[in-house]
Structure 1
Amino acid sequence: MSADAVIEKYSQSLFEAVSEGGKADNISKELEAIAKIFSEEAIATFFASPFNSADNKVMVAKAALEGKCSPETFNFIVMLVQNERMGVLTQINENFQASVRSMSGETEGILYMATEPSAEFKQQVEKRLSEALKKTVRLNTQKDPSLLSGFKVTVGGWTLDDSAQFHLNKLKEDISKRGM
């Protein structure tokens, strides 16, 4: 089974198990925090090492999490440890978070600009995209020095390009079509 298939299988199984009970939001927060902790280099190395026995890894995971998270999250992490799948916890978490956002009518995207946008501008773009997509859009920002002016947004499978480069290329194309 490919890594992507494994990631999808685990994230979807967890999502289906907790979404019906109305626990998805709570599990989402717990899984996010746990994935962040377990992605730290020393911890990730411990769980990836073939020199640490499976029993030892399970014992450490149980000691770290017991009583500190919901039974669903606890059992899920222990299962990942037992099945030697901690190496894909970050990706499982990302897929799970996307499923939770989708269930609640939210989607996430990236706003690319040459400089950090103002909070007001970001909110304005989120609002317009939310209206167009009929979903709540939350944008993360990423600097892209190749954009001289304007911005690009990627949400889901599509891209909105309102950069100066895009408009210059469009103008060049229009001029070429007219034979000028």
Structure 2
Amino acid sequence: MAETYVSGAAGRYATALFELARDANAVDAVKADLDRFSAMIAESDDLRRLVRSPVFASEAQERAIAALLEKAGITGLSANFFKTVAANRRLFTVEAIMRDFALLVAAYKGEVTAEVTVAQPLSDSHAATLKQALDALTGKDVKLAVEVDPSLLGGLKVKVGSKLIDASLKTKLNSIRTAMKEVR
């Protein structure tokens, strides 16, 4: 976990929550609660406004969050965390906190995410082969985040951490085009 850095207020909250969850053997449960709350934000314009807007009073945010948590069945450490964030008027950072928490959990579990961009959807066998190759290359458990971009024409782009492997047909054609311009 020493290789994962989170900073700012969101990083401090995420780190504190992660350490509490780890000490309570509840990392997976808290992660599931945060994922559920993140999905709620994505689905509700009203919740997104409540979370992001500074015009709501602390008490109003606390009441609304408490009601939402109860309705969603989010209890315990996760509920206390959200209530504390609301009470401290830091609800606007909750999305960054959840993102940082996910990074800390991934590092704790030895997981790495590979952002894969392909021209066409990957079949299950191709995805499994790519995952195995990336697992062997990184020595870690790699999760694939696949995005389809037909403009690549063929091939794929893989980004793991700060490393990018671009084996797309579009890039190869652009390289040939540039080489031909230089020859003239």
Residues 103-118 of structure 1 correspond to what in structure 2 (within 5 A)? 103-118=108-123
Q: 2:143 aligns with which of 138, 143, 148?
A: 138
1:168 and 1:51 map into 2 onto residues whose CA distance is 52
Q: Distance in 2 between matches of 1:157 and 1:22?
A: 31
CA deviation string 1:119-175 (max 9, x = no partner): 221111111101110111111111223312100011122112222244456778999
What TM-score, normalized to structure 2? 0.82
Q: 1:10 is matched with which residue?
A: 13
- Aligned AA (1:56): A
Alignment partners' CA distance in 1, 2:119 and 2:63? 47
> In the alignment, is the contact (CA less than 8 A) between 1:112 and 1:144 conserved in 2?
yes
Does residue 59 of the first structure (1) align with residue 63 of the second (2)? yes
**TM-score for both structures, normalised by structure 1:** 0.83
**Do the aligned residues in 2 keep the contact of 1:110 with 1:153 (CA within 8 Å)?**
yes
Q: Residue type matched to 1:141 in 2? A: V
Partner of 1:46: 50
Q: Structure 1 residue 10: deviation in Å?
A: 1.4
Q: How does 1:1-180 map to 2 (within 5 A)?
A: 5-39=8-42, 40-66=44-70, 68-167=73-172
In structure 2, how many angstroms separate the alpha carbons of the residues matched to 1:10 and 1:60? 20
Return 5+ residue gaps in structure 2 as ranges: 1-6
Counterpart secondary structure, 2:89: coil
Q: Secondary structure at the match of 1:146?
A: helix
Deviations 1:41-84 (A, max 9, x none): 11121344455321122112122224922421011101111122
Q: Using the alignment, how far apart are the partners of 2:51 and 2:146 within structure 1?
A: 32
CA RMSD, aligned part only?
2.7
What is the CA–CA distance in structure 2 between the aligned matches of 1:12 and 1:87, rounded to whole Å?
17
Amino-acid identity (%) = 23
CA distance in 2 between counterparts of 1:166 and 1:65 reads: 47
Q: Tell me the amino acid that sits aligned with residue 12 of structure 2.
A: K
Structure 1 residues 165, 86: CA separation in 2 closer, same or farther (over 3 Å shift)?
Answer: same
Structure 1 unaligned regions, length at least 5:
none
- The number of aligned residues is 176
Deviations, residues 103-133 of structure 1 (Å, cap 9, x unaligned)? 1111112110112221221111111101110
Alpha-carbon distance between aligned partners in 1 of 2:49 and 2:178, rounded to the nearest angstrom: 52
